[in-house]
Structure 1
Amino acid sequence: MSWLRGWRERRDARRVRRMGFTAEDWEAAIADWPLQARYQGAERQALMTLSLRFLARKSVASGGGFAVTDAMCLKVATMACVPILKLGLEWYDGWYTVILYEGAFIPNRPHRTDDGVVHGRGPVLSGEAWHQGPVILSWEAVCEAGGASNVVIHEMSHKLDMRRNGANGSPPLHPGMDQRQWHDTFTRCYEALHRDYVTQRHMPVDAYALTGPGEFFAVCSEAFFESPDSLYRDWPALYRLLAQFYRQGERP
């Protein structure tokens, strides 16, 4: 509803003013992330505004006693907002916290491995997104963004995917997008990646994408933003679908 959207935007604006971040603070926080240079002019201003509104709605909490700084919060928020720049902050509704560890972390919960054995604690992770819960990140992994990798975009892609029947590689599509085309294209590329992996040929994205459809979507989303030329060269049909979904990076 328009009145609710307006109320939330006014509330965000009040919170942003109280935080007191300047444009210079934001620029300094993201200066060492190469992807940010792609956004200039009005898009850059929109990205900064959205990033500050993200911090007005989400808290960034310390994991394991890690000393989280304002600059870290600004960088994580900006990376998180790149996928939703043309979608809107409402796509991240329903959860409220980012937990930031200094390095990799081990979830304190039971974990079942492929052989069916249940272990008392989970595997070592650099990022994790919980359904209707927090996003957990390793700051070391955040700082390694580049190439075709970005742990923040990866986990935020899971959050978008979870808006429709869980993280299964099938996020809610926009009107006019064809669900069958999405399924067929992603399945075809997934199967091609598996063949490349088995035959040890060049793989367009990291082999971690073969973990399952949800991870395939998240890894491809990383590549879409961090290495768009390579993804377009190898899988143009999949690239175009991601461009439609994220409403960015359209190509002929």
Structure 2
Amino acid sequence: MFNYFRRKRRDRWLAQHPIADELWLPVTTMPVLKNLSASELARLRELAAWFLHTKAISPKGELVFSDPMRVVLAAQAVLPILNLGFEAYDDWQEIIIYPSQFLAPTRHVDHIGVVHEGEYALAGQARGDGPVLFSWHDVMEGPWLDGWNVVIHELAHKLDMCNGGHANGYPMLNAGMDHDDWKSAFSDAFAHLQTIAHSNDHSPIDLYAATNPAECFAVLSEVFFERPLVLQESYPAVYEQLMQFYKQNPVERLHPQRYRQVQTHYDYLQ
């Protein structure tokens, strides 16, 4: 009953506070969104509006964070939960935005088992204690179908953290998904990526995915949305698992012009 009234209040708020056309329509030309259907874009628009309503966005330094910038961020942020629903991001509340890459303490184990600790310049960071941090410069570099999208990457970490509070490459799976299939698909892909990283061979996928299972899930989520054919051809079992997890099939959205150079300007966002 509580959830019913919560949904009713949310639907009433959304009906009264849509994202204005002048803010939304330019965003729909971003390559990462270009092949969504009209119904998918309408659903994305509602998700983005609710995202902006429920998440505190805190700009840092000299950054003045305008409404068009907020909508560009939100549209990318809610693409992974397009068919998962509003509640998928309920367990965190704040986004911190820096003008460019920022220094933050980090710790990770690389593909040969060496632990790296220190303060590094980052494009994004999903913290287990709540907030997500982004470099605005890198957010604007994200939606160009090159397989690199810091917003999708960090929010994949947040989805991963829903299953136990830390990112480990094993998010809470949807009903009907097979845990053994997930483990097999990602273990095989991770092992293969580590082999490539060890041998310094070329990979169409960013070898940061070979760092650890959490980064493997986040990087392959980026590729799933931005270069789905590459993922489907390289690791078909992973593509199948992510299709079930995100409840989306980006390959079905593709058109021949998908990988043409897109000349779209966002000067008003700079």
Aligned residue runs from structure 1 range 116-131, under 5 A: 119=118, 122-131=119-128
User: What is aligned with 1:196?
Assistant: 196
Aligned residue runs from structure 1 range 165-244, under 5 A: 165=164, 166-244=166-244
Q: Percent identity?
A: 36
Equivalent position SS for 1:106: strand
Query: Aligned pair 1:89/2:89, yes or no?
Result: no
Give the deviation of 1:194 after TM superposition. 1.3
d(CA) in 2 for partners of 1:225, 1:156: 13
User: What is aligned with 1:159?
Assistant: 158
Give the deviation of 1:11 after TM superposition. 4.2
Asked whether the 8 Å contact 1:79–1:153 carries over to 2, the reply is yes
Equivalent position SS for 1:168: coil
Asked whether the 8 Å contact 2:55–2:93 carries over to 1, the reply is yes
Asked whether the 8 Å contact 1:30–1:74 carries over to 2, the reply is no
Give the deviation of 1:68 after TM superposition. 0.6
Q: Quick one: structure 1 residues 116 and 142, their matched pair in 2 at CA, closer, same or farther if it must change by over 3 Å?
A: closer
Asked whether the 8 Å contact 1:94–1:132 carries over to 2, the reply is no
Asked whether the 8 Å contact 1:163–1:171 carries over to 2, the reply is yes
d(CA) in 1 for partners of 2:246, 2:124: 21
User: What is aligned with 1:40?
Assistant: 37
Q: Quick one: structure 1 residues 217 and 117, their matched pair in 2 at CA, closer, same or farther if it must change by over 3 Å?
A: closer
- For 1:3, the aligned partner's letter is F
Deviations 1:99-145 (A, max 9, x none): 111100012x5x557677865xx211000011241111011111111
Q: Quick one: structure 1 residues 43 and 116, their matched pair in 2 at CA, closer, same or farther if it must change by over 3 Å?
A: closer
Higher relative contact order (CA 8 A, sep 6+): 2
TM-score normalized by structure 2? 0.83
- For 1:45, the aligned partner's letter is A
User: What is aligned with 1:58?
Assistant: 55
- For 2:150, the aligned partner's letter is V
Aligned residue runs from structure 1 range 4-15, under 5 A: 4-11=3-10, 13-14=12-13
TM-score normalized by structure 1? 0.89
User: What is aligned with 2:2?
Assistant: 3
Aligned residue runs from structure 1 range 16-35, under 5 A: 17=16, 21-31=19-29, 33-35=30-32
Q: Quick one: structure 1 residues 184 and 26, their matched pair in 2 at CA, closer, same or farther if it must change by over 3 Å?
A: same
d(CA) in 1 for partners of 2:15, 2:99: 26
Equivalent position SS for 2:162: coil
- For 1:221, the aligned partner's letter is S
Give the deviation of 1:61 after TM superposition. 1.2
Q: Unmatched 5+ residue regions in structure 1?
A: none
RMSD: 2.3
Asked whether the 8 Å contact 2:14–2:46 carries over to 1, the reply is no
Deviations 1:63-82 (A, max 9, x none): 22311111111011110100
- For 2:3, the aligned partner's letter is L
d(CA) in 2 for partners of 1:117, 1:83: 29
Q: Unmatched 5+ residue regions in structure 2?
A: 253-270
Give the deviation of 1:12 after TM superposition. 6.5
Asked whether the 8 Å contact 1:169–1:215 carries over to 2, the reply is yes
Asked whether the 8 Å contact 1:29–1:72 carries over to 2, the reply is no
Asked whether the 8 Å contact 1:15–1:56 carries over to 2, the reply is no
